[in-house]
């Protein structure tokens, strides 16, 4: 309660989340219907032209430019208002609770309560960490299998860059 997301600046792709593509010179409220209805936002992240919100219940909402699937809603449709990131069976977020988020240039990351990392969006440089360079519009697990530097590790923080990602391990 009493938490409200506001945004301002460039909005050509709906990254401000106010159901327009109009630039704003002063802070404007992000739409709180749909995916954010009745939710308490505890963290936000801004990517190149998309935005993310983490809710107190572990749900993630996203909006803005979605050409590479960085919204994570199983589409590449731009979103002018927040929509839920896919958590259905087949999504790496299925059955997981998100505790932190990060946005890269055109990709998104989520840290789950079990210390694993999930990613989606542009992947031309391998920034999703799933052993591919295929873009993903549904969250995929970052590789933590044997041979990965994340094998057997618990991640405690994440960060996304223009075309790369980082994780801080508990050790």
Whose tokens are 């991640």? That residue is: 155
Q: Is residue 80 a contact partner of residue 103, using CB atoms and an 8 Å limit?
A: no
pLDDT tens, position by position, 42-93: 999 999 999 999 999 999 999 999 999 999 999 999 999 999 999 999 999 9
How far is residue 156's CA from residue 164's CA, in Å, rounded to a whole number?
Answer: 18
pLDDT at 35: 96
pLDDT tens, position by position, 111-159: 999 999 999 999 999 999 999 999 999 999 999 999 999 999 999 999 9
pLDDT tens, position by position, 93-115: 999 999 999 999 999 999 999 99
pLDDT at 121: 98
pLDDT at 2: 58
Give the chain's mean pLDDT. 97
How far is residue 91's CA from residue 141's CA, in Å, rounded to a whole number?
Answer: 9
Joined together, the tokens standing for residue 132 give 């591919």
Q: State the pLDDT confidence band at 3, using cuts at 50, 70 and 90.
A: confident
How far is residue 101's CA from residue 23's CA, in Å, rounded to a whole number?
Answer: 25
Q: Please say if the pLDDT value at position 1 is more than 60.
A: no
């Amino acid at each position: 309660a009493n938490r409200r997301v506001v945004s301002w600046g460039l909005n050509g792709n709906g990254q401000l989340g106010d159901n327009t593509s109009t630039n704003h010179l002063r802070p404007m409220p992000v739409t709180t219907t749909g995916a954010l209805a009745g939710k308490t936002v505890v963290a936000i992240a801004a990517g190149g032209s998309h935005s993310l919100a983490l809710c107190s219940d572990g749900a993630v909402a996203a909006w803005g430019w979605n050409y590479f699937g960085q919204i994570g809603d199983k589409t590449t449709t731009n979103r002018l208002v927040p929509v839920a990131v896919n958590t259905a069976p087949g999504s790496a977020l299925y059955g997981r609770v998100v505790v932190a988020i990060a946005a890269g240039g055109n990709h998104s990351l989520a840290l789950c309560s079990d210390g694993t990392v999930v990613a989606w969006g542009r992947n031309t440089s391998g920034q999703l960490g799933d052993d591919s360079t295929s873009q993903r519009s549904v969250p995929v697990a970052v590789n933590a299998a044997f041979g990965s530097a994340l094998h057997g590790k618990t991640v405690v923080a994440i960060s996304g860059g223009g075309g790369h990602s980082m994780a801080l391990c508990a050790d």
